[in-house]
Structure 1
Amino acid sequence: MTFPSWLPELAAAILAAVIAITLHEAAHGYAALALGDDTAKRHGRLSLNPIRHVDPIGTLLIPGVLLIGQLLTLGQVEGMFGWAKPVPVNILRLRDPRRGMMLVAAAGPLTNFALAWIAGLLAHPAAGLGDFLSPDSVSWVYRFIGLSILANLVLGLFNLLPVPPLDGGRILAGLLPARLALPYMRLEPFGLLLVIAAVLVLPRVADGFDPIGWALRTVVADGFDLILTLSFHGGRA
């Protein structure tokens, strides 16, 4: 049976994204449990099963519509956006609510950065797979490793944007004085709409004005170079 040429690339991209998202969300739950809140555990969210973290709208509907829409109108995928089901955290059950919430929020991006580094390290033993696998299979493994680094960097850095309900917004709220943190966190119901507008709408209506996209691309490129250096590949050529 002959498979479409794009299928291995799609499979590698989906697998890399699923692992990055699943461990990101699970990290929030495990961090909350370590800091005194077992809400995620009681809701069955301390799980490495990706299905437990699927949000019907953010994980399936919106990415699917964006994927199909871009393929039909542009002929290629220029950008994607979505989210997983948030892990439930009861801030009042944390031993130190303000500091605890910061640590729970930071656990997701930190896990992604650790996974990116681990993926970089795995490229070294992957070099020996040529003795057991076909050249196409070895090439797929390397592509998966590269996409894993990219997916984890993008997810981790995107979530550090200082906009609630993203992790960066919750970290910033923990750093602000209480008199500023409370009104700032009231933006949370509108934060996701602001992010969608900034990432997807603004570049279209403002003739390519895309400061968030530009910043992420720049930082991701530097982050990829750093991961290569830290995993002993010498950085980009």
Structure 2
Amino acid sequence: MASPKDPVTEASAQKLRLSKEIVLAGALDLVDTEGLDALTMRRLGQELNCDPMSLYRYAENRAALLDGVSELVFNELEIFPHDPDWKAQLRRIAHDLRLLALRHPNVVPLLVTRPLSTPLGLRPLGTLRPLEQILSLLVDAGFEPTDALHVYRAYYGFLYGHILNELQEFIVDPEENEVLLRLGLHRLPAKDFPRLRALAPVLADYDGAAELDQGLTILLCGLESSLTQSVPSATD
């Protein structure tokens, strides 16, 4: 017959099992399944089967949990700042970040909006890593540091815009064969919106990866052109 468990010993074992990594992983799981609003110390304590007060040893408040979740997601993003093919690297990073967003859609608003309310130097170091690495990638490619910052802003502005747009794409009636009806475009006056209605087949056949790639091609070709124009020729 098994001896009864000692409550003190079991509580001590629970404390030993906790770590910052486990707490943040639990927080990310909770956000993934229930959304950002569900993330509280009390709710996370329930998920981890521990006293919520014990979580304060690993995150001083809910804001710290949110920052930790952001860092955890960004840590999944691999960047190679010394890759000589900067265009291929930016294209790969964009597709990888898109896949991250699709895996963690509830975290996307946190990644996009939370940094705007925090001064740059006070943001978690893990969330600044992509900025530093992409700046290095662009400067090594020949961009002036100031221009590299402009490129980064344009790149991430486009990328986040695409991700937010893709996550909000939806069809009114997926069972309807007629594309105008599937998208609800039949409700738009034909005289006022002829071009939008004509694009219904393309809109209904939305492919997030292909759409991202198309936009990246436009963006990267423009950046490459500006870089070429800024490099003095041998005859100058």
Establish whether TM, by shorter chain, passes 0.5: no
Higher gyration radius (CA): 2
TM-score, reference length from structure 1: 0.32
Compare relative contact order (CA 8 Å, sep 6+) and give the higher one, 1 or 2. Answer: 1
TM-score (normalised: structure 2): 0.32
